[in-house]
Amino acid sequence: MIKTIKHMALSAALSFPLTASAQHQDSLFIRKMYDQALTNGKSYEQLRYLTGRIGARLSGSPQAAAAVEWARQEMEQMGLDRVYLQEVMVPHWVRGDKEHAAIVNSSISPSREVNVLALGGSVATPANGLTAEVVEVKSLDELKKLGKRKVQGKIVFFNRGFDQTHIHTNRAYGGAVDQRASGPSEAARLGAVGVVVRSMASNTDDFPHTGGLRYAEDAPKIPAVAISTKGADLLSNLLREDAKLQFHMRLNPQWLPDVLSYNVIGELKGSEKPEEIIVVGGHLDSWDIGEGAHDDGTGCVQSMEVLRLLKAMGYKPKRTIRAVMFMNEENGLRGGTKYAQVAKQQGERHIAAIESDNGGFTPRGFGITAPNEPVFQKLFSWKQLLAPYGLHDIERGGGGADIGPLKDDRVALIGFRPDTQRYFDIHHTANDTFDKVNKRELELGGASMAALVYLLDKYGL
């Protein structure tokens, strides 16, 4: 809160570097791009295809391959200067078909099935499953304090929910996700046999939320599942009555050999400074449930829409502008890593990278990790051109997982910030489907990113 007020004061203090005439011209140009997006936007119908005809597309899956080919064809049809695939080997984890969990052997309740999803990357249970007593904790610290004696042979149940007092739900997610990422290995170090994690969710319902775990190399790998928020509440309530109840879980996921896949890249070549590159991107892979609509089909179609809008306006960029559909954000980040490696090898100079990976909701602003203060101030000075479209949150901090590896002392990393209220209701669930996306919200997002790309291209950084 204090941070925001400080930015408002900064805004007032700044003298804007743009002349009145340039401002007027930019304002008109941006207005026309929004008009184009709102009346003739293509991203909603593109998303309908990606989510409905291809669907969930975890790295290594046939659907991920279909998504690559789809993105390539879509960009080929746009008449860009160049469309190409960038090879990247991706991990290949498959969920299996035996996911099942239940609360059993409770003295006060009959057996109750509960909705779970294996965490992405989890190892399997024994074929007949795993049954053990449960120890509930709210944090990694609380777990460590329990020590081996109380954890050995048990299933650890991480049950810290979202802190709902955050106005932006991504902060609540950030405050809870260590349980999912590090919980399994921390529990394993103390002799636990399995892990159940409360879904990383802003609401209460029956949908479990999957997501990646990170096994430490020096700890045993134990199976781990996310339980729905309602399931977590039930388990916690029953445990309070009967600490000896048991949890049963059965999973048969598998790690298969790595698969050749691709980042898909479309490019408009710069006319004056082609060596300066501006990237706008999202990730093409998704978890293997739902349709990967908000995560991150929306980021992909918005990124393509940026190039389409600039072309539709007849705009000839000075700098090179790329839309990048990254592969494997969800369980490896191999695509983002590869893109940055190649850029470095080829001595490419990226001036800015914008990532859309927070859902396709109403645009609220951009979060900026600038290489230095003048670059931040320059970006911030454009706020007056963006605020009429509801882009008030032009703030420090942000970027994205896929563009993160590009970080150096020259590039501005920028995260597109849509409204966050609904995102973590559906994130990583079977509920992340096309019908949750609103056409106008989606198209406004593409236009917002295009507006920023236009300013980045015209004025540089």
Nearer to a copy of itself, 329 or 419 (CB): 419
Check binding of 34 to a copy of itself (CB under 8 A): yes
Check binding of 345 to a copy of itself (CB under 8 A): no
Tell the smallest beta-carbon distance from residue 115 to a copy of itself (Å). 19
φ and ψ of 366, to 5 deg: -135, 140
Residue 289: which of 210, 227, 365 has the closest Cα? 210
Nearer to a copy of itself, 62 or 388 (CB): 388
Instruction: Determine which residue in the list 203, 221, 311, 407 makes contact with a copy of itself, applying CB under 8 A.
Output: 203
At residue 19's C-alpha, the angle toward residues 16 and 23, to 5°, is 85
Interface stretch with a copy of itself, choices 117-125, 146-154, 387-395, 403-411 (CB under 8 A): 387-395
The whole-angstrom separation of Cα 300 and Cα 445 is 11
The answer to whether the beta carbons of residues 116 and 98 sit under 8 Å apart is no
Joined tokens for residue 152:
């050995």
Interface stretch with a copy of itself, choices 140-148, 221-229, 238-246, 415-423 (CB under 8 A): 415-423
Nearer to a copy of itself, 98 or 168 (CB): 168
Interface stretch with a copy of itself, choices 48-56, 139-147, 368-376, 382-390 (CB under 8 A): 382-390
Check binding of 298 to a copy of itself (CB under 8 A): no
Nearer to a copy of itself, 21 or 165 (CB): 165
Q: First vs last Cα of the chain: how many Å apart? A: 28
Other beta carbons within 10 Å of 379: 22
- The amino acid occupying position 326 is F
| Residue 99 annotated as catalytic | no
Instruction: Determine which residue in the list 154, 364, 417, 428 makes contact with a copy of itself, applying CB under 8 A.
Output: 364
DSSP states of 331-381 as a string? TT-HHHHHHHHHHHHTT-EEEEEEE--S-SS-EEEEEEE-SSHHHHHHHHH
Tell the smallest beta-carbon distance from residue 38 to a copy of itself (Å). 4
Burial 200-225 (b: 16+ CB within 10 A, else e): bbbbebebbbbbbbebeeeeebbbbb
* Catalytic residue, candidates 291, 329, 330, 355: 329
Nearer to a copy of itself, 36 or 106 (CB): 36
248-287 residues near a copy of itself, rule: CB under 8 A: none
Contacts with a copy of itself, 150-179, as mask; x by CB under 8 A: --------------xx-x-x----------
How many residues interact with a copy of itself (rule CB under 8 A)?
A: 36
Burial 32-69 (b: 16+ CB within 10 A, else e): ebbebbeeebbbbebbbebbeebbbbbbbbebbbebbe
- Cα Rg, the chain, nearest whole Å: 23
Nearer to a copy of itself, 96 or 175 (CB): 175
Instruction: Determine which residue in the list 57, 422, 427, 428 makes contact with a copy of itself, applying CB under 8 A.
Output: 422
Check binding of 5 to a copy of itself (CB under 8 A): yes
- The amino acid occupying position 141 is D
Check binding of 8 to a copy of itself (CB under 8 A): yes
Distances (CA, A) of 402 to 87, 292, 321, 357: 15, 16, 17, 9
Other beta carbons within 10 Å of 281: 33
Instruction: Determine which residue in the list 438, 458, 459, 460 makes contact with a copy of itself, applying CB under 8 A.
Output: 438
- Judged by the rule CB under 8 A, the positions of this chain that interact with a copy of itself are 1, 4-5, 8, 11-12, 27, 31, 34-35, 38-39, 164-165, 167, 169, 202-203, 362, 364, 384, 387-390, 392-393, 419, 421-422, 425, 438-441, 444
